Chains A and B, each alone.
Chain A
Amino acid sequence: MTDLQTQVHAYLERTSLPVDVDKLIGDLTNAEHDVPVAATLHRGEDVVLIEKEPGGREDKATREPGPRVRKRFVLVAAALLVLLAVPAIAMLIDWDTPPLDQEFPAGPIGPVVYGAEAGIGEYCAWRMDFEAGGVPVMAGPCGVLRLEGEDWRVVNAEVGSGSLMDIAIAPDGTVWLADIDGPVKSVVGAVVTNHPVRASRVEVTQDGTVWARRYDPPNLPALMSFDGTAFVAHDVGPVDELMAAADGSLRTLALDRVEYDPETQTATEWPLLLGRMDNGTYTTEPVPEGVGREYLTLAADGTLWAIGETGRVIEREKVSDSEWALTRYDGSELVTVAIPFAEPNDVAVHPDGTVWVSSSLYGAFAYDGLEWRRYGVSEGLPSEEVTFVEIGPDGSVYIGTRLGVARVVPDNR
């Protein structure tokens, strides 16, 4: 089978549908000779020219090819003018982020903010984990940073990477990094050790075992653990996500898939599975189709909270760009809640039961089971382009953003 990049390129090249620019300009030019044109719509091979203003001449709008279009299109033209004008106005206001579709009550004002003055550069707040003593450590394009007092110190800049996917800190303070463009790294201060395996996830369970989800090659066992010298594979079937549980076990999620072995030309179907590695024993259970699969976290009681995209949404609300749902699965019951904002990119569950969901466009949101409260720039976030949300051992909520980190202490503490 061809590599993925070649496949994507070939598919896009072969299915591209170019606009006939010369024909379009000819239509527009002809229309300008005869009538002012408000808009030109291409629907398949049909070109519809729509007049800008109603006038005295007959047949100011024409359909090519096809029958003449009458003045009823004036209303359509007006609607299209609005359609074209509104985005232009919106662009003057904000080029990149469409407005939220609804108002949210604001979260409490007054988070502690660490930005450039605290040693955090742009996009340095990328992924976070906590040392055994509760000190937060971040990793990302700027390397590994550790909070010391009120400042973030760059512990190691050498390991900085924009393709870093995960961070986990072992009880001895070793920082483990999973990077899909490079080897797994273990970092102790300035000393970096490369481990010859690429991984998309890394976790440390309570017994100190370091686990990794191998990123490739895809036909080798995905689950690996570090034996003190090297990563060893566990042939337990597909694994896509890793989560260290409060009970000491490792939990996994494996997406449903069809595995194909090109050598034997046989295919194996796998359902959506939750896995559990406990004292060397691995068990799996199928989970309902509706469980989110994009961003996952385990609550202290083992309940799986996850975010997934549409197609699996039970309650639907209007959302901005994509339709997303937050799911809660406790092993028997699946609860699905619509996420009323776009681009969620992380989820964390506070010990008080509040679920925190971040968005790469609109800040962070706290869901208490009844309503969503929003934390944006006006509530003190350095930026609303959020990169992660993490709960510290002391109950503090850390919100990573493009321009720094905010630490929020929930008001019920």
Chain B
Amino acid sequence: MVTLESKKESFTVFARQVEPRLRHALTAVFGQEKARDATAEALAYGWEHWDRIRTMENPAGYLYRVGRHAHKLRRPRPEFLPVPNPGIPDVEPGLPNALARLSERQRTAVVLCYGLGWTRQEVADLQGVSINSVGAHLSRGLAKLRSYLGVIVHD
């Protein structure tokens, strides 16, 4: 029988490990504040169903879908925090709005692959799509992002 202490121990290791990536993935969908809520809800769900979830092949992917679908049911629009000012002087102030204007899949590819260094395979695994599909969303997303930001961005 699994005691509460052993459950806490194993879940703590799991949660500490997955929280950053889970939050990053949900940030791409919802923006920072809603991603924090969705991450906490997904982890709470994981705690409640730990006996089942711990045996899964990809428990982090499962919790991502829990967090995503739970919030999607409430149909939020993505909301990205403004660029801190003062704070990041070289970041274009229009970047948060430009990110929010991308479609969800394009935004996920841009935020995770381009902004946070995930591989296309990792994003493909997360979304359950092919690596080519991620590449296409990344290409289109970047093209739109550059377009939205005008020539202020120099590559």
Q: List the interface of chain A (C-beta within 8 A of B).
A: 1-12, 14-19, 21-22, 24-25, 28-29, 32-33, 37-43, 83-84, 86-88, 90-91, 95-96, 98, 122-123, 126, 141, 162-163, 165, 180-181, 200, 215-219, 238, 240, 255, 257-260, 262, 294, 309-310, 321-322, 343, 360, 385, 387, 402
Known pairs A5-B115, A14-B84; A88 contacts B103 (CB<8 A): no
* Interchain CB contact under 8 A, B105 and A18: no
CB-defined contacts of A321 to chain B, threshold 8 Å? 72, 103-104
A8 CB contact (under 8 Å) in B33, B87, B111, B130: B111
A165 CB contact (under 8 Å) in B72, B101, B132, B139: B139
CB-defined contacts of B54 to chain A, threshold 8 Å? none
- Nearest CB in chain A to that of B82: its residue: A15
Query: Considering the chains assembled together, what is the distance between the CA atoms of A395 and B80 in angstroms?
Result: 44
CB-defined contacts of B84 to chain A, threshold 8 Å? 14-15
19 CB contacts below 8 A, A to B, read: A2-B90, A4-B146, A5-B114, A10-B88, A11-B96, A11-B115, A15-B84, A16-B23, A17-B23, A17-B33, A19-B23, A39-B44, A88-B66, A165-B140, A180-B139, A218-B154, A257-B151, A259-B150, A385-B133
* Interchain CB contact under 8 A, A7 and B32: no
Count B-side interface residues using an 8 Å CB cutoff. 79
B residues 7-64 near A (Cβ < 8 Å) are: 8, 11-12, 15-16, 19-20, 23-24, 27, 32-33, 35-37, 39-41, 43-45, 47-48, 62
CB-defined contacts of B43 to chain A, threshold 8 Å? 19, 21, 24
CB-defined contacts of B91 to chain A, threshold 8 Å? 2, 7, 10-11
Number of A-B contacts defined by CB within 8 Å: 209
* Interchain CB contact under 8 A, B40 and A18: no
- Nearest CB in chain A to that of B78: its residue: A322
CB-defined contacts of B66 to chain A, threshold 8 Å? 84, 87-88, 91
Q: Does B73 contact A (CB under 8 A)?
A: yes
* Interchain CB contact under 8 A, B127 and A8: no
Query: Considering the chains assembled together, what is the distance between the CA atoms of A260 and B93 in angstroms?
Result: 13
* Interchain CB contact under 8 A, A1 and B92: yes
- Nearest CB in chain B to that of A293: its residue: B147
* Interchain CB contact under 8 A, A163 and B139: yes
- Nearest CB in chain A to that of B117: its residue: A9
CB-defined contacts of B143 to chain A, threshold 8 Å? 165, 180, 200, 215
Q: Does B123 contact A (CB under 8 A)?
A: no
Known pairs A4-B153, A40-B40; A343 contacts B19 (CB<8 A): no
- Nearest CB in chain B to that of A258: its residue: B150
Contact with A along B133-155 (1 / 0, CB 8 A): 10110011011111111111111
Query: Considering the chains assembled together, what is the distance between the CA atoms of A219 and B12 in angstroms?
Result: 50
* Interchain CB contact under 8 A, B72 and A343: no
- Nearest CB in chain A to that of B65: its residue: A91
* Interchain CB contact under 8 A, B139 and A260: no
- Nearest CB in chain A to that of B39: its residue: A19
- Least Cβ–Cβ distance between A17 and chain B, in angstroms: 4
- Least Cβ–Cβ distance between B135 and chain A, in angstroms: 4
Query: Considering the chains assembled together, what is the distance between the CA atoms of A33 and B84 in angstroms?
Result: 41
* Interchain CB contact under 8 A, B132 and A141: yes
Residue of B41, B142, B152 contacting most chain A CB atoms (<10 Å): B152
* Interchain CB contact under 8 A, A17 and B19: no
- Least Cβ–Cβ distance between B4 and chain A, in angstroms: 6
CB-defined contacts of A5 to chain B, threshold 8 Å? 114-115
Query: Considering the chains assembled together, what is the distance between the CA atoms of A178 and B39 in angstroms?
Result: 39
* Interchain CB contact under 8 A, A9 and B48: no
CB-defined contacts of A180 to chain B, threshold 8 Å? 139, 142-143
Query: Considering the chains assembled together, what is the distance between the CA atoms of A28 and B148 in angstroms?
Result: 43
Known pairs A12-B27, A180-B142; A41 contacts B37 (CB<8 A): yes
* Interchain CB contact under 8 A, A91 and B127: no
Query: Considering the chains assembled together, what is the distance between the CA atoms of A322 and B154 in angstroms?
Result: 29
* Interchain CB contact under 8 A, B151 and A12: no
Query: Considering the chains assembled together, what is the distance between the CA atoms of A28 and B23 in angstroms?
Result: 19
* Interchain CB contact under 8 A, B155 and A216: yes
- Least Cβ–Cβ distance between A266 and chain B, in angstroms: 12
CB-defined contacts of A387 to chain B, threshold 8 Å? 136
Query: Considering the chains assembled together, what is the distance between the CA atoms of A200 and B143 in angstroms?
Result: 8
- Least Cβ–Cβ distance between A94 and chain B, in angstroms: 10
Query: Considering the chains assembled together, what is the distance between the CA atoms of A28 and B49 in angstroms?
Result: 12
Query: Considering the chains assembled together, what is the distance between the CA atoms of A8 and B135 in angstroms?
Result: 18
* Interchain CB contact under 8 A, A402 and B133: yes
* Interchain CB contact under 8 A, B128 and A123: no
The list of the 4 closest CB pairs from A to B, nearest first, reads: A87-B69, A257-B150, A8-B115, A218-B151
Query: Considering the chains assembled together, what is the distance between the CA atoms of A316 and B79 in angstroms?
Result: 20
Query: Considering the chains assembled together, what is the distance between the CA atoms of A9 and B24 in angstroms?
Result: 12
Query: Considering the chains assembled together, what is the distance between the CA atoms of A260 and B41 in angstroms?
Result: 43
- Least Cβ–Cβ distance between A57 and chain B, in angstroms: 18
CB-defined contacts of B140 to chain A, threshold 8 Å? 165
CB-defined contacts of B155 to chain A, threshold 8 Å? 3-4, 216-218
Known pairs A37-B48, A87-B69; A1 contacts B88 (CB<8 A): no
Residue of B43, B69, B70 contacting most chain A CB atoms (<10 Å): B69
Query: Considering the chains assembled together, what is the distance between the CA atoms of A375 and B140 in angstroms?
Result: 24
Query: Considering the chains assembled together, what is the distance between the CA atoms of A122 and B8 in angstroms?
Result: 44
B residues 91-137 near A (Cβ < 8 Å) are: 91-92, 95-96, 99, 101, 103-105, 110-111, 114-117, 127-130, 132-133, 135-136
